[in-house]
Amino acid sequence: MGIEQKLGNLGISTLTLDQAVKWARTNSMWPMLFGLACCAIEMMSAQASNFDMSRFGMELMRASPRQSDLMIVAGRVSRKMAPVLRRLYDQMPDPKWVIAMGDCASCSGVFNNYALAQGVDEIVPVDVYVAGCPPRPEALIHGIITLHEKVRSRDQTGRSDHGKELAEREQQMITGARGA
Amino acid sequence: MTEQNEILLDELKHLVSERALTGETMLLNMGPQHPSTHGVLRLLLELDGEIVVNCIPDIGFLHTGIEKNMEAKTYQKAEVMTDRMDYLNTVGNNLVYCLAVEKLVDLDVPPRAQTIRVLLTELTRIASHLLWMGTSALDLAAMSVFLYAMREREMILDILEMVSGARMMTTYIRPGGLWRDVPVEFEEAVANFINILPGRLDEYESLLTTNALFLERTEGIGVITTQQCIQWGITGPVLRATGLPYDLRKARPYSGYEQYDFDIPTATGGDIYSRYRVRVAEVRQSLRIVRQALDRLPYGPVRSNNRKFVPPPRSELSTSMEAVIQHFKLWTEGFPAPKGSVYAAIESPRGELGFLIEGNGGSRPQRVFYRGPTFANLQIMPLLSKGHFVADLVGIIGSIDIVLGDCDR
Amino acid sequence: MDAKLQPAVDALTGRLNVEPVEFRDQVSLLVQPDQIVSAAQILRDEFQFDMLTFLTAVDYWPELAPRFHIVYMLYSVPHNANLSLRVPLEGNAPHLPTLEGVYPNANWYEREVWDMFGVRFDGHSDLRRILMPADWQGHPLRKDYPLGYEEVQFTFNAEEIDLRKPYARE
């Protein structure tokens, strides 16, 4: 505490390595261009000048998965597109995050039929779901800020541990059933 | 990995030339995720160096099964899905669906509703062309045009939100008229928009139209003739850029378009530059129509009175028993449509957009077919791209103005 | 009926075995499957119906005869007139000759009808699936193909459905 006050106005700040890494990760998270359908148009609107996403560090939208760390799945994922999505997710280097933008990516939205994957979390683990059909650009930016807070507040790399939660819940249901 | 490639070649042996089988030309996959494919379009390119010998489009990555899903819903509830097909021309999709349903059940539309329908459809056309201009210029590396074009598009989306509550998927046009009347601020907002746009459009044109780099990348590339267009069923700006002034708003007018005074811009040349000129001129003509529609906006109801097909206004539900019964019947069972099929078409920013609806006497359609302009326009990709460089291919895809939502539905 | 269509309709009813049907001012001609190519050629060459606007199919299951109607919409640019042709087909192994030689854009439309309905087009240059993945089984738009929806999660069944849902763990 004391050293920060002493050196504060010299332009030096002290923090833990963890905090520094998380600050760097959140402030320059590069999204991968994965606009599929109508939500892609709202994502483009969010990137354009009215609701600027570059204020949050997302100046570029990288087309190559090898150079990006955030995949915003914007739009409906059909059964034909699902293997492509998985392959691109696998090509992204760690740490990586996924935002499911829109109703179709979260839960297949209006379309409950044979042709769509019912929610993109059947294919990739999702960190933040943004609701809306399509979500307003402000809603998408709110989702991105939520993701930033999630990354800053976690103790590990920031990867989704939805799988761990699911496994715990499954275990509870099984032991609960056996107990009852 | 190699087995996957071999299977691919086997399936497509009849489509690629013999030089591919010996390895003289290279097969390259311009995959579904690509910054310039405007959606999820996969192109299999057969390249001789950098020159495209053949280009095989592979679609279906956005297939949503909307037509089958619409068969399981009543006519009113199915309209929600129509917005999401051609997602850049959402109001137009609603309009053509409502025109088809109204023709099927023989429903009237009051004049105020028709004028507002025309107004909103033309605003959506302007929005679609602005987005097209932004993204296709972005493909050709004119990045600032994208940021400028989205400014005006935001103004149009604000107007749509004021009218219906949603920026893009409005479902504002319903069978029998509109959902509800426009608010008081609507006329002022549209008048404001009409005053601002021509100056801004001149700015955007000054960035592109006489730009030597843009001309070099677009003139003489992707040429098609009128005869080929008609043979392949191409409509819209692609056809008008070859010289034929065929526009459904003049040829088979709908929703009162015969009362408006506007021109059909054409260009000769049939290349990317002509299509660009045609679309920019179309934006100006749409502004003319919007101005005339705003001036002649008549007073009156905005929805038909026919309670067999149109639900009563909610204020009546507390006083009239018949209104409650009609409301209940329409929202649970829906209205029955006669046996028979109708086809209704409008001029969307991409071409002829049509709905073939077949009724079967019940309240759910027997078949809904969406004739999307992109499905027809994408078939000429191989024709347009033979002999050009891969970099030109990007410009060609942009100039056809594809939206995969209406191709794959 | 549009007066411009009258000569074409009369010529076809005279020469081939077609039956005109009119509904809401739109004319459809019922054509037999083996005569569709000649009908289209007559309309294209003699009556200037030069554009095929679309081609699709309708399934009338559980009626098996005819089970499918293939609908063609032809448009004439000089006369500005629309004419539709309907071909009734039986249910088992439906097939009919391709229209690719007359209108080249029938290519993708016929592939779509094959993909969605299972109607074969004899003589088509490239009949494979276009909208569904290449290894998909079944023809989705047929009426006996299920919609394929998943059960809606309400509060009372949310937990059970959640456990069965195929979430991606990693």
- According to the model, what pLDDT value does residue B292 have? 93
The full set of domains in chain C, from first to last, is: 6-164 (3.30.460.80)
- According to the model, what pLDDT value does residue B120 have? 94
What's the total number of domains in chain A?
Answer: 1
Closest CA relative to residue B349, chosen from B129, B41, B168: B129
- According to the model, what pLDDT value does residue B220 have? 85
**Mutation target among B371, B384, B407, B408 for the C interface, most CBs of C within 10 A:** B371
- According to the model, what pLDDT value does residue B99 have? 94
pLDDT tens sequence across A78-116: 988 888 899 899 999 888 889 999 998 988 888 888 888
- Per CB-CB distance under 8 Å, the chain B contacts of C58 are 341, 358, 366-367
What is the average per-residue pLDDT within B117-141?
91
Q: Is A13 part of a structural domain of the chain?
A: no
Q: Is B272 part of a structural domain of the chain?
A: yes
**Domain, as residue range, for B79:** 75-304+339-404
User: Given the structure tokens 């677009």, which residue do they identify?
Assistant: B218
Q: Could you tell me the CA-to-CA distances from B389 to B77, B147, B208, B385, B398 in Å, in that order?
A: 46, 27, 21, 8, 15
The answer to whether A170 contacts C163, with C-beta atoms less than 8 Å apart, is: yes
User: Given the structure tokens 């009347």, which residue do they identify?
Assistant: B181
User: Which of A108, A163, A173 is closest, CB to CB, to C169?
Assistant: A163
CATH of the domain at B180: 1.10.645.10
User: Given the structure tokens 């005819």, which residue do they identify?
Assistant: C66
- Per CB-CB distance under 8 Å, the chain C contacts of B343 are 26, 73, 82, 84
Q: Is B7 part of a structural domain of the chain?
A: no
- According to the model, what pLDDT value does residue A179 have? 46
- Per CB-CB distance under 8 Å, the chain B contacts of C104 are 231-232, 379
Tokens of A38: 């109508």
Tokens of B382: 């191989």
Average pLDDT, chain C: 87
Query: Do the beta carbons of residue A49 and residue B152 sit within 8 Å?
Result: no
Measured between CA atoms, how close is C134 to chain A, in angstroms? 9
Q: In chain B, pLDDT over 90 holds for what percent of residues?
A: 45
- According to the model, what pLDDT value does residue B279 have? 93
**Domain, as residue range, for A159:** 25-179
- According to the model, what pLDDT value does residue A162 have? 56
Q: Is A74 part of a structural domain of the chain?
A: yes
Residues of C engaging B, defined by a Cβ cutoff of 8 Å? 23-24, 26, 28, 50-54, 56, 58-60, 71, 73, 77, 80, 82, 84, 103-105, 107-109, 112, 125-126, 128-134, 140-141, 145, 147-148
Q: Is A11 part of a structural domain of the chain?
A: no
**Mutation target among B12, B232, B244 for the C interface, most CBs of C within 10 A:** B232
Tokens of B97: 């669906």
Residues of A engaging C, defined by a Cβ cutoff of 8 Å? 79-80, 108, 112-115, 118, 121-125, 162-163, 166-167, 169-170, 173
Integer Cα distance of A42 and A25 in angstroms: 24
The answer to whether B150 contacts A115, with C-beta atoms less than 8 Å apart, is: no
Q: Is A16 part of a structural domain of the chain?
A: no
Measured between CA atoms, how close is A80 to chain B, in angstroms? 5
The answer to whether A134 contacts B66, with C-beta atoms less than 8 Å apart, is: no
- According to the model, what pLDDT value does residue B7 have? 46
Q: Within an 8 Å CB–CB cutoff, is residue B168 touching chain C?
A: no
Integer Cα distance of B48 and B25 in angstroms: 5
Q: Which residue of chain C is at minimal alpha-carbon distance from B73?
A: C147
- Straight-line distance from the first to the last Cα atom of chain C, in angstroms, rounded to the nearest whole number: 62
Q: Could you tell me the CA-to-CA distances from B281 to B196, B200, B267, B287 in Å, in that order?
A: 16, 14, 10, 10
Q: Is B357 part of a structural domain of the chain?
A: yes
- According to the model, what pLDDT value does residue B284 have? 93
Enumerate the H helices of B27-142 as residue ranges: 66-71, 75-82, 90-105, 111-139
CATH of the domain at A129: 3.40.50.12280
Query: Do the beta carbons of residue C169 and residue A166 sit within 8 Å?
Result: yes
Q: Is A17 part of a structural domain of the chain?
A: no
Integer Cα distance of C170 and A89 in angstroms: 10
pLDDT tens sequence across B304-330: 888 889 988 888 888 999 999 999 999
Q: Tell me, what's the ipTM?
A: 0.91
User: Which of C51, C73, C84 is closest, CB to CB, to B230?
Assistant: C51
pLDDT > 80? residue A166:
no
Q: Which residue of chain B is at minimal alpha-carbon distance from C133?
A: B60
- According to the model, what pLDDT value does residue B6 have? 44
pLDDT tens sequence across B21-32: 677 888 888 888
Q: Is B255 part of a structural domain of the chain?
A: yes
- According to the model, what pLDDT value does residue A155 have? 59
Q: What is the pTM of this model?
A: 0.91
